[in-house]
Amino acid sequence: MNDTLASQAASEPAAVWAAALGTGGVFVLMIVVVWQIAATWRARMLAGREEEYRRLATKYAELLEDNTEILRRYTDELAQVRTSVGSVERMMREVD
């Protein structure tokens, strides 16, 4: 029974073309599905990388603010030391 159907299908050109187009369509569909899965995976990876960059930028901004505050404190302390050294120099000149 199957042999007769196969021989009839092979003898009809329309059936051969239909089978070829159906098989080609299935392969094209599989390629598109795999392509879309890969594109989705890549987009998720890029989004994760972007989120990591955003976190690093936030952390960098916080560290920069901390460093600016430390620099301001050191500048204030250095100004106080300069004032004190200037006072000591004046006092030393007056003693001479």
Which is higher by pLDDT, 43 or 95? 43
Q: Is the pLDDT of residue 18 over 90?
A: no
Q: Is the pLDDT of residue 8 over 70?
A: no
C-alpha 72/C-alpha 76 separation (Å) is: 6
Can you give the C-alpha Rg of the chain in angstroms? 40
Q: Which two tokens stand for residue 6?
A: 């196969």
Q: Looking at mean pLDDT, say which of 9-13, 57-61, 90-94 comes out highest.
A: 57-61
Digit-coded pLDDT (tens) for 61-92:
999 999 999 999 999 999 999 999 999 999 98
C-alpha 43/C-alpha 35 separation (Å) is: 12
Mean pLDDT along residues 43-60: 94
